[in-house]
Structure 1
Amino acid sequence: MINELDLIDWSSMNHAYGPADEIPGWLRAMASMDRSVGDGALSDFYGAVHHQGDVYVCTTASLPFLFALADDPVTPDRASVVELLVSIGRHAVERCMYDYAGEMGYAGSAVVVRERADAFVSYAADDDPAVRRAAVEGLGLFIDDAGRAAGLLRDRMSAERGARERLPIVEAMATLALRLPEATETATAWFDGLAGDVTTEPVVRLAAVVQRARCAPDLIDEELVPTAIGLLRRIPVVVKEGPEGGGNGCGTAVAGSATGAGSVTDAEADAHSGVEPESEAVSEAGAAPGVGSQPRDPARTAPEIASPTAPQPAPGVPPQVLAAFEDLDRSQLVHSPATPLLRALHEVLDSRVPERSALLAEQLDSPHPGVRHDAIRMAKEVMTSWRGDHTALLTRLADRLVTNDPYTAAEVAEALRSVAPIAEPAREPLAEFVEVQRTAHGPEVWAMPDPSVRRAHQQAVMALARLGDPRALPSLLVALDTGVDAWRAVQVAASLSAAAGQLVPRLCRELERFERSPEQSDMGVSALLSALGRLGDASAVPVIAETVTAAMRSVQWPTAATALNALAAFGPTGAPALGVIRGVTGTHDPAVRVAAAGALWAIEGRPEEVLPLLEDLLDSHCKHEAVDVLGRIGPAASRVVPRLRRMLTAGYEWTRVHAATALWDIGGPDEAPQVLEILLDAWRTNEFTANNVIACLDRMGPAAAPAVPLVRSELARPRRGGRFHGVENDEELQRVSRAFLLRHG
């Protein structure tokens, strides 16, 4: 088959990055005896021909050659080729089942893998256990005879020993039942038998419980979580010493692992949990470095908790960008074999927040370091997605802030920072952690070389600052004085308004760097300007005004607009900047002009000067911002009422919301009927408008009484709402909604 590659007109097809001419070379390289060559070709193929799960016509054309590689016993890495075939087939079959396949190759690939389903039967019985693990999912995906597929999976379960081989079989049975409803009854009965079999590994029994719930969510009862917790407790803990004889900073209990120095062998560990250990953390996507879209192997986990080596900053790459990629990499790591199962269980439980909280309490108290660590992100997901009293969960999270485990402590602190509006129960543990670190490592621990300790401290300080706690200040000052990760300190500085006298001079110094080199625009300038505006210390006004001038000189329109918005936050105390502001009102950039108009209004409040500027912007792409300033002007802007009424018929609900809000603020009760109709319709149409809508309804007083049922309905829903469903926006939405209902009885 490989020799027939040149018979295909690859140049007539395209992959993610252009013509598919490279495919023959990649396929030939996959057969190379040089492992590095084969791995590189596989990575390139994934990145272009199966990019982020996409399936193209050229992907379909590649399938016969991939099957030939998988069939050939001398192919060096057959398991990876089989894994690739399964991934292509999975994405193709699922897209054809649930979505229109379009002009890409989904439909063609689905046909090919189904026609070659017996190949996966052969691979699933291969002598190589890695090939078997990679192939078994195909039995649930590609065989359309439900009875035959279920029988094959049962046979594989009987033939395999060890959880690493058996876990994919349990998942494949669930895949089959979810794809072919006629297999559901057989699958659920099999899951029940497996879950109750005391001779089976606890992690496999847990998998059976979870997959049964996935396949039969209507049959979930109050015993599901206690059963799962009981099985989770039965998963053995293998105790080992860390490489330095003292563990890895996250405790010495390691789930299912005997890697490195220790008192048990790999075989002994496998006898306990059935999951072969890995030497390092791997991504949940199962990808080797540089392989962007390989499917997850649920058995590839990191039993030890250790901070990955921090990459060296690339020249010219902003630290914020580097940090974002590091966070993305961390979010994909799996530290326990039970993690995929527990995540699946949380997905099944969905809105059952009390049950999920009980499960998370068990996870966070687990003797398995990996289970505890991976529970942190799951806890964050519950708190950021669902409303309720999360005090107990926050307290348990805070208990994981221990100084001898900076890797996990950093994850906890980051989670607490992300839910700052509800994180009050964690205030004292955060403060204690920060102080202990400063005592142990010195006052400049924020900037210390150890990346693990530094990250833990920085995240805890940022979380504490978000709570407005002054105990975060010393470390923020270290950041701004040393320049080490100062951008992180800038993100939270505005939360410490009482310390403006110490923070503002330092923030201004940072801002002056931009003024000196505006052509080297720093993506942190917006955060600096926002922080200075929120802190409100008038000593910053001249520096911000100079930033406007420097930004205009270097044609940095977004920075100029942000600086003008910061000046508006000062109100009348921003008067020293009026000359600079007036000097940019005639620029051709709409964002700068509307920001200048807003600043003029906030500082001087002269409608006769500001109204003409704003009227000229009502047909620009910044019309929403212009309308908002008109609303702040109020009745003095009555001459724009006819234009605002016309905007109520716009096709975009956000335009209607901004116009309706301004119309109420300008026209008052006379505009109430149409304003109310527009606002309620927009809320029902797009829930992201809720914060804007409820803020206006709250100002409308008795005229907004008809909105009471919708507001009550909003408060009754368990899932977070508001703009982007963020915690801060949702908490504000709830607060204003409750106040609204109190006033309306």
Structure 2
Amino acid sequence: MKATYRLTANPAEANALSEMSVLPGIVPGVINDLESIDWAVLEHAYGPGKEVPGWLRGMVSPDPDVRNEAFSNFYGKALHQGSVYSSTVASLPFLFAKADDPATPDRGAVVALLLSIGREVIEAEEIYAVICGPDGEESTIYPDTANLMREHANAFVSYASDPDARVRRAAIEGLGLFLDDAERAVALLRDRLEEESGAAERGLVVRTMADLVLRLPAAAGPVRSWFDALVDNGALDPDTRLAALVHRTRCAPESIDDQTVPKVILLLHEVTPSPQAEEDRPSTGPCTCEAEPEPDSDVPGHIAAAFDDLERHGRVHAPTTSLLVAFHEALGARFDDRAALLIEQLRSPDPGTRYDAIDMARCVITSWRGDHTHLVQLIGDCLQPHDSYISAAAAEALGKLGALAEPAREVLAAYIAEHRPDAWASPHRVQRRAHQQAVVALAGLGDERALPSLLIALDNDTDAWRAVNAVGHLPQAAAELTPRLMRRLADVDHSREWPDVSPTALASVLAALGDPAAVPALTDAFQAAIRHKQWRTAEPLLKALASFGPRAASALDIVRPLTDTGSTDVRTAAAAAVWELERRPGRVVPLLERLLDHHRNFDAIDLAGRIGPPAAPVLPRLRQILNEQAEENARNESNDAAVLNTGNAWTLVHTASALWDIAGDSEADTVVSALLNAWKDNDSTARDVLACLNRMGQAAHPALPRIHTALAQPHRGDDRWSGAVAFDLEIERLCRSLVTRLQDLPEAAPTGEK
């Protein structure tokens, strides 16, 4: 059997794969045949695959460090972020040979790698039926490799009954992924549950059975009955019963009723460790964790912290966590049920359960609208002086909630008050992180009680980058903060690509504080960035200067020359700054006419809107941009375009908003229509659309039905990016304001959505 690949632009790679004898007839000595393949014409994520044979040999080394490095390299390069490459596929016969050989060390790790490859191609085969590389070559590598793995499902059947528990554990999931005979797969998994005694393996069998149903609906009837029998079997261990109940809801969410969550909570109580005796509980004294090693001076603090966060957020602290995450996903919009479960989790006597519940609660609060006061308070209750590890997680979660953390304000302040402000620079790693996160969260609420610790940070340079990102919420303390930030800005070495404290962050914070004393420092920094041709930092520094308006007029002589030099972005930022600093349309509108030659120059379009009616000379160009975009959208719809260009929606929003701000009522119908079309095509434009509708007043009345719909939706949208909560709260505020103003107006003729 040979895999078939269609690689029209790389015949050498295609030949190397097609000539490879794939899988049947593998013998233990196949590892010696590695040199029979021309690995140099195959690829991994970072180039030619000539290193792959060394990794495959390293996986069978007697030295565990060599084996670990080999697996790490393969995952990082030949299976980079789940992508499969020609060298990955060429490795399969050798990996299967090693998995089959009882003498192979770490056979479980080999089987787990095979499973990872199979899982990725199974999940991706429908999306990437044909993929194109950078040179235009086409490949059917995902569906071909998925079929290949299915053809060798029997290997996983064998591994799943292997005497080595690590091999069995790695193979069980393959029974649900690669077997296309639903009846056989169900029978094998039922047998595995009876044979396995470990809680982890039994839970994996139950989860795999649910995955099988989701992949092969023909298995649904017998599997759901099996789940019900497991749940009702009081003689069965509670871990397996809990897994069965959770995974039944994944397969049949319509089966969720008023008793489902109470049953889960009861089973959760049974599997949760008993509370510690009073004498065994940790003392409430100061943290006794080891001092943190000095960070690498060549790595900026915010970069090192980001990697620490990634590692920490990948940890699981309780055996029930993966089950509860799956259950919350199955519950979806049943907010009351999810809140009831989270209350139990956050009150659990098991610290691992409480720790993992913090982020689950944060996800619910940031993803779903509603009254989250109780959940926020329970997260706040996790701020305990005797447990800095959980406290740090709670404080970080509260910081991500923004204004929604208000019910925990006093708890945050009390936690910070337990220590001196110099706890910001504590030598104890976990205690330092907990204190810093609590300070940042309190500052995010605009509370000046966070200030003493932030001043310590700015004065002694310990994690100053974190303090800089927080102080912009405390404009009432500008007199104390601005001089410190100015000194930091003056000390920035603009010849360095990545300074520890970004001049961009400093500029943003100084603009937020609004103290005009910062203007000279911003001007000097801007000049330094220009001298070093650091355009990436020059532009935000210029925008910060512009935020001070005429109070920064002293910088005009430096800014004006840039309106006719440098990149389009710099010229646009310079034109905007000239407008803000002196407010003379006659100087700026002629610049705008040139800048608008590129219809996606949103900053220039926005500048035209801020200038307002005096920018009337650019109205024909704005109308042209709007018409061109409408025509492009119509062509896309007529061609049934599969991929939406979200930039099109933003072009509509920016252009229509400027059109309203310049021309007003005469363009009302055109503007409302464009805004509603943009909102329909790209929901992330909602805040900008609503901001313009809010400025339009009564002219926005045709948009009222869409505003009602937006206000009624329970979901906030994507919570993965910073500021998502504030974004949604602003949407809600604008919707309520518009409803109040428009709902009693007489019905207007509807503005059509094209």
What is the TM-score when the length of structure 1 is the normalising length?
0.88
Counterparts of 1:377-526 in structure 2 under 5 Å? 377-438=359-420, 443-514=421-492, 521=499, 524-526=502-504
Aligned residues of 1:59 and 1:109 also touching (Cα < 8 A): no
Residue 715 of structure 2 corresponds to 719
Bigger drift between 711-720 and 141-150 goes to 141-150
1:552 to 509, 530, 534: 530
Q: Structure 2 counterpart of 1:461, which letter?
A: V
Residue 181 of structure 2 corresponds to 145
- How far apart are residue 55 of structure 1 and its match? 2.1
Structure 1 residues 14-66: Cα deviation after superposition (integer angstroms, max 9, x where no partner):
12222222222222222222222222222222222222222223322222211
2:551, 2:573 → 1: CA distance?
Answer: 17
2:728 to 703, 716, 730: 730
Structure 1 residues 76-102: Cα deviation after superposition (integer angstroms, max 9, x where no partner):
110101111111112222223565253
Aligned residues of 1:414 and 1:459 also touching (Cα < 8 A): yes
2:611 to 600, 609, 633: 633
Residue 110 of structure 2 corresponds to 81
Residue 3 of structure 1 corresponds to 32
Residue 619 of structure 1 corresponds to 597
Residue 122 of structure 1 corresponds to 158
Q: Percent identity at matched positions?
A: 51
C-alpha change, 1:669 and 1:464, in structure 2 (3 Å) is: same
The answer to whether 1:678 aligns with 2:674 is yes
1:185, 1:249 → 2: CA distance?
Answer: 53
The answer to whether 1:647 aligns with 2:629 is no
Residue 272 of structure 1 corresponds to none
2:266 to 222, 230, 236: 230
Aligned residues of 2:575 and 2:591 also touching (Cα < 8 A): yes
Bigger drift between 329-338 and 100-109 goes to 100-109
C-alpha change, 1:331 and 1:426, in structure 2 (3 Å) is: same
Bigger drift between 107-116 and 697-706 goes to 107-116
Point out where structure 1 has 5 or more consecutive residues left out of the alignment: 252-304
2:445, 2:364 → 1: CA distance?
Answer: 20
The answer to whether 1:185 aligns with 2:221 is yes
The answer to whether 1:45 aligns with 2:74 is yes
2:184, 2:296 → 1: CA distance?
Answer: 54
1:695 to 691, 697, 700: 691
- How far apart are residue 737 of structure 1 and its match? 0.8
2:299, 2:703 → 1: CA distance?
Answer: 49
Residue 705 of structure 2 corresponds to 709
Structure 1 residues 526-570: Cα deviation after superposition (integer angstroms, max 9, x where no partner):
111111111111111111111111111111112221111111211
- How far apart are residue 364 of structure 1 and its match? 0.4
Residue 68 of structure 1 corresponds to 97
1:236, 1:419 → 2: CA distance?
Answer: 28
Counterparts of 1:234-383 in structure 2 under 5 Å? 234-237=270-273, 313-383=295-365
1:586, 1:98 → 2: CA distance?
Answer: 46
2:396, 2:317 → 1: CA distance?
Answer: 18
Q: Structure 1 counterpart of 2:622, which letter?
A: L
The answer to whether 1:159 aligns with 2:141 is no
Bigger drift between 45-54 and 459-468 goes to 45-54
Q: Structure 2 counterpart of 1:217, which letter?
A: P
The answer to whether 1:57 aligns with 2:86 is yes
1:123, 1:349 → 2: CA distance?
Answer: 34
Q: Structure 1 counterpart of 2:329, which letter?
A: E
- How far apart are residue 306 of structure 1 and its match? 11
1:51, 1:603 → 2: CA distance?
Answer: 49
Residue 513 of structure 2 corresponds to 535
1:65, 1:312 → 2: CA distance?
Answer: 43
C-alpha change, 1:60 and 1:520, in structure 2 (3 Å) is: closer
3-state SS, counterpart of residue 318 of structure 2:
coil
C-alpha change, 1:572 and 1:246, in structure 2 (3 Å) is: farther
- How far apart are residue 620 of structure 1 and its match? 4.2
Residue 659 of structure 1 corresponds to 655
Residue 287 of structure 1 corresponds to none
Aligned residues of 1:195 and 1:208 also touching (Cα < 8 A): yes
1:343, 1:697 → 2: CA distance?
Answer: 39
Q: Structure 2 counterpart of 1:580, which letter?
A: I
- How far apart are residue 310 of structure 1 and its match? 5.9
- How far apart are residue 621 of structure 1 and its match? 7.8
C-alpha change, 1:308 and 1:597, in structure 2 (3 Å) is: farther
2:284, 2:146 → 1: CA distance?
Answer: 45
Structure 1 residues 75-133: Cα deviation after superposition (integer angstroms, max 9, x where no partner):
11101011111111122222235652531532232233222222212211111111111
Aligned residues of 2:494 and 2:534 also touching (Cα < 8 A): no
- How far apart are residue 742 of structure 1 and its match? 0.2
3-state SS, counterpart of residue 445 of structure 1:
helix
2:562 to 568, 581, 584: 584
3-state SS, counterpart of residue 491 of structure 2:
helix
C-alpha change, 1:389 and 1:307, in structure 2 (3 Å) is: farther
Q: Structure 1 counterpart of 2:334, which letter?
A: R
3-state SS, counterpart of residue 32 of structure 1:
coil
1:673, 1:618 → 2: CA distance?
Answer: 23
Bigger drift between 670-679 and 91-100 goes to 91-100
2:315, 2:668 → 1: CA distance?
Answer: 53
3-state SS, counterpart of residue 129 of structure 2:
coil
2:523, 2:196 → 1: CA distance?
Answer: 71
1:517, 1:10 → 2: CA distance?
Answer: 42
C-alpha change, 1:385 and 1:166, in structure 2 (3 Å) is: same
1:218 to 250, 254, 264: 254
Q: Structure 1 counterpart of 2:243, which letter?
A: A
Aligned residues of 2:121 and 2:142 also touching (Cα < 8 A): yes
Bigger drift between 691-700 and 231-240 goes to 231-240
3-state SS, counterpart of residue 235 of structure 2:
coil
2:65 to 21, 36, 61: 36
The answer to whether 1:203 aligns with 2:203 is no
RMSD of the TM alignment (CA)?
2.3
1:564, 1:45 → 2: CA distance?
Answer: 45
Aligned residues of 1:32 and 1:38 also touching (Cα < 8 A): yes
Structure 1 residues 325-382: Cα deviation after superposition (integer angstroms, max 9, x where no partner):
1111111110011000000011111122221111111110111111100011111111
C-alpha change, 1:19 and 1:659, in structure 2 (3 Å) is: same
2:344, 2:316 → 1: CA distance?
Answer: 18
Structure 1 residues 126-184: Cα deviation after superposition (integer angstroms, max 9, x where no partner):
11111111111111111221111111111111111131221111111112111111111
3-state SS, counterpart of residue 414 of structure 1:
helix
Q: Structure 2 counterpart of 1:537, which letter?
A: D
Aligned residues of 2:274 and 2:349 also touching (Cα < 8 A): no
- How far apart are residue 711 of structure 1 and its match? 0.4
Q: Structure 1 counterpart of 2:194, which letter?
A: S
Aligned residues of 2:600 and 2:651 also touching (Cα < 8 A): no
C-alpha change, 1:28 and 1:309, in structure 2 (3 Å) is: farther
Q: Structure 2 counterpart of 1:701, which letter?
A: G
Aligned residues of 2:301 and 2:500 also touching (Cα < 8 A): no
1:107, 1:247 → 2: CA distance?
Answer: 54
